[in-house]
Structure 1
Amino acid sequence: MIFSMTGFATASQQTPHGSFNLEIRSVNNRFLDIQLRLPDDFRRLEAAMRELLTTQLSRGKIECRLLFSPVHTVEIDQQLDHGLLERLMQLEQTIRTRYPSAASLTIAEILKWPGMLESNAAPSEEWDAVGMTLLQTALKDLKAARMREGDKLKAILLDRILQMRQLLQVASPRIPALIASFEEKLRARLEEILGNNEDDRIHQEITLFASKIDVDEELSRLQAHLDEVERILNQGGVVGKRLDFMMQELHREANTIGSKSVDLEISRISMELKVLVEQMREQVQNIE
């Protein structure tokens, strides 16, 4: 199974205290980079969420955002802690007795005092459970989306492999005839320059130049690399980095074929091979 690093998923839940909405976005990245965007009341969930994402995903830049919209009636339904207010007033009176010039507390300062307003908000455990449940649901949908995208990438890569094999089938039969034709032309040229008395020298030169234009080894290595890429795709798993390395090897062989070519058709095939490899490389960048 091949997984893409690109995906998006959401999960939401309505509670008596408000609505929860969680989004996960994933794009390609060399490593696993997790960014969490959580409201202040949910900061305590960051470690647990990060751990869950790490166990389920291997690569990609992951952005997880949790939004909470409280019900307005719940926000308004708040009461003063009269005991705390009484103690605060006593403390203020004590301070003013000792420092008469001290400024009095304003209403805004009293209301902002920690613990002064009591609300019927849900306990933290309930909110934590909702947040983690939403993450598990969204993460399941994200992995499904990445799997579907991965299947598409695999199909594209297998199609490019097929096209490359077809080009190699066209190129391979031409090599022996090209070498023989090149040797004949080179022999005629060398005999014209050196004369017929330099047969050994001519033979050495022909052998040397023939080895420089022979791309049979490169074609064989290309076939082997394509077999390995296809095997990796069928094996599945976290294979993005291995495929990226194989793209480098494919490009190296295709480039060598072009540099050694003395035939217009082989040069054209080399160019098409490099184009296909580049197309594959672009797709491989999105594979986990």
Structure 2
Amino acid sequence: MIRSMTAFAHHEIASAHGKLSWELRSVNHRYLDISLRVPEEFRSLENNFRTLLQNRLHRGKLEASLRYAAGVGENSAIVVNEPLARALIIACRQIEALTNSTETLKAVDILRWPGVTLDSAPDLEKLGQEAELLLVTALNDLIATREREGKRLAEFIDSRCDQIAEILVRIRKRRPEIISGIKDKIHQRLAELDVIPDNNRLEQELVILAQRLDVDEELDRLMAHLDEINAVLERDEPIGRRMDFLMQELNREANTLASKSNDAETTQAAVDLKVLIEQMREQIQNIE
């Protein structure tokens, strides 16, 4: 199944260790470009996160952001910065002695003092495990979205390939009629000029003209490219670059076909081909 490179996923969990959330955004890119943002507490796990993403994705510009908010569990405790609290009490007693004040500093006032209480250290090992599991969940969601979009892209490409094939069949059927029409015009022109042509030379010129206007090789190559596109769509691997190359080849053959056309209907058919190829090329830019 082919994948698009455009998708979004967001997942979060809340536990006694805190609240974690991953947000993944991906858009089309020539290569795999990962932009990873994690809180300072998770810096040591950044390589693990990046490796996990690289193992599952092949192309696209991915922005992955982890957010963390410390939680309050049942066994949470207030950690007191004892050196600072002692220094604060001593300082208060000195001020009381200088001012002859009898008002003592209350314990709750000491706890309110900046820096006296410390945040309890989170269990980084468990947090890291939860963050990795959550990333896997978000990544699975992102890939599922890319596959759904990829399925729609495959249907779009199949439809355009069928339309191109119909045009090619039409062009091939019309070629004998075009050559015959050219011969009739030449003979008619010679009759109007009232000259006796050299039949051998005339036949040679007609053969050369027919060869110059022959597009059977271009039509065969265009059909072969369509067959290759259908085969590539069935591959279980990233196909974006291969498809992009095939679009270039289709466009090149369509240009050659247009240059050899001396018939209004064939010229219009070549233009229609180029429009369909360009429509496919634009969509293929989103395929992984």
TM-score range (shorter-chain normalised) is 0.7 to 0.9
- How big is each residue's C-alpha offset from its partner over 1:5-40, in whole Å with a ceiling of 9 and x where there is no partner? 111111101022432111111111000000011112
Matched residue SS, 1:3: coil
Matches within 5 A, 1:1-288: 1-71=1-71, 78-83=78-83, 118-189=118-189, 195-196=195-196, 198-288=198-288
CA distance in 1, matches of 2:194, 2:10: 79
CA distance in 1, matches of 2:203, 2:85: 107
Which residue of the partner structure matches residue 108 of structure 2? none
CA distance in 1, matches of 2:187, 2:203: 8
Query: 1:204: how far off?
Result: 2.6
Number of equivalenced pairs = 265
The answer as to whether partners of 2:17 and 2:127 remain within 8 angstroms in 1 is no
CA distance in 2, matches of 1:73, 1:123: 12
Letter in 2 for 1:222: L
Closer/same/farther in 2, CA of residues 214 and 43 from structure 1, 3 Å limit = same
Percent sequence identity over matched residues? 42
CA distance in 1, matches of 2:171, 2:47: 57
Letter in 2 for 1:223: M
- How big is each residue's C-alpha offset from its partner over 1:227-263, in whole Å with a ceiling of 9 and x where there is no partner? 1101111224211100000001111111211111111
Closer/same/farther in 2, CA of residues 248 and 193 from structure 1, 3 Å limit = farther
Query: 1:85: how far off?
Result: 7.6
Closer/same/farther in 2, CA of residues 266 and 280 from structure 1, 3 Å limit = same
Letter in 2 for 1:267: T
Closer/same/farther in 2, CA of residues 239 and 190 from structure 1, 3 Å limit = farther
Which residue of the partner structure matches residue 109 of structure 2? none
Bigger drift between 32-41 and 63-72 goes to 63-72
Query: 1:187: how far off?
Result: 4.5
Query: 1:77: how far off?
Result: 6.5
Matched residue SS, 2:225: helix
Query: 1:134: how far off?
Result: 1.0
The answer as to whether partners of 1:187 and 1:206 remain within 8 angstroms in 2 is no
Closer/same/farther in 2, CA of residues 190 and 36 from structure 1, 3 Å limit = farther
Closer/same/farther in 2, CA of residues 38 and 198 from structure 1, 3 Å limit = same
CA distance in 2, matches of 1:218, 1:24: 44
Query: 1:120: how far off?
Result: 2.0
TM-score, scaled to structure 2: 0.83
Which residue of the partner structure matches residue 105 of structure 1? none
Closer/same/farther in 2, CA of residues 67 and 36 from structure 1, 3 Å limit = same
Could you list the runs of 5+ residues in structure 2 that have no partner in the other structure? 88-112
Closer/same/farther in 2, CA of residues 261 and 117 from structure 1, 3 Å limit = same
The answer as to whether partners of 2:172 and 2:216 remain within 8 angstroms in 1 is yes
CA distance in 1, matches of 2:235, 2:192: 58
The answer as to whether partners of 1:17 and 1:121 remain within 8 angstroms in 2 is no
TM-score, scaled to structure 1: 0.83
Letter in 1 for 2:3: F
CA distance in 2, matches of 1:189, 1:213: 20
Could you list the runs of 5+ residues in structure 1 that have no partner in the other structure? 88-109
The answer as to whether partners of 2:2 and 2:150 remain within 8 angstroms in 1 is yes
Closer/same/farther in 2, CA of residues 190 and 44 from structure 1, 3 Å limit = farther
CA distance in 2, matches of 1:183, 1:172: 18
